[in-house]
Amino acid sequence: MAHPSQLGFQDAASPIMEELLHFHDHTLMAVFLISTLVLYIITIMMTTKLTNTNSMDAQEIEMVWTIMPAIILIMIALPSLRILYLMDEVNDPHLTIKAIGHQWYWSYEYTNYEDLSFDSYMIPTSDLTPGQFRLLEVDSRMVVPMESPTRLLVTAEDVLHSWAVPSLGVKTDAIPGRLNQTSFIATRPGVFYGQCSEICGANHSFMPIVVEAVPLHDFENWSSSMLET
């Protein structure tokens, strides 16, 4: 959960998000070094009037500013492609959940269970209890077992939506008539908040997403109680 005046991303709760954080730091360092070098060269040129033709058009300089950007791009591209591959890989999921976007709420279907499905609506501000977050709490959370690969199938019933939970490193478009697939593993217990990230109409900002990761035995108790009701 983000907090006031926070710098950076939310704490990672999945291996993919940890990889994304590392890649962000890696890329930011490359940007910092490039910016520092360019600023240094500009400063030198302004203070020493470095306009000598032999210096500016030297063959060595031409080679450096051609080869160095290519090396930097390769250093950024390789880890980026690796993470893209990991995000697209779904290996033997223990649980499959189908998330359906509506105007303006989410529905969840646990496909491993025959009758486990429910709608998830935002709790109005007037009904919040102390400790709950305005515009982020829902009446029925999506509960998942921690440390278990979870496959998420995302679609929509009316217009474009987007299922996004920053702490889990998940953001998948919900498109009517199409089934998109992603996966995640919650590495620690907790409650993780997200929102629809596609402008889907007047109440776009009123369809939050809440994922609760619990130990496996707690998940089994929850699923049993949901099936009984």
First to last CA, the chain: 31
Q: Which CATH class is domain 95-228?
A: mainly beta
Going from the first residue of the chain to its last (229 residues), give the mean pLDDT of each consecutive group of 10, the final group possibly shorter: 78 92 93 91 77 59 84 92 86 92 95 91 93 92 94 94 94 94 93 94 93 95 88
pLDDT of residue 49: 62
Which pTM was predicted?
0.84
Q: How far is CA 219 from CA 143, 188, 212, 227, in A?
A: 7, 14, 10, 12
Q: With respect to CATH, is domain 15-88 assigned 1.10.287.90?
A: yes
pLDDT of residue 77: 93
**CB neighbours of residue 151 within 10 Å:** 19
pLDDT of residue 55: 53
Per domain, the residue ranges of the chain are: 15-88, 95-228
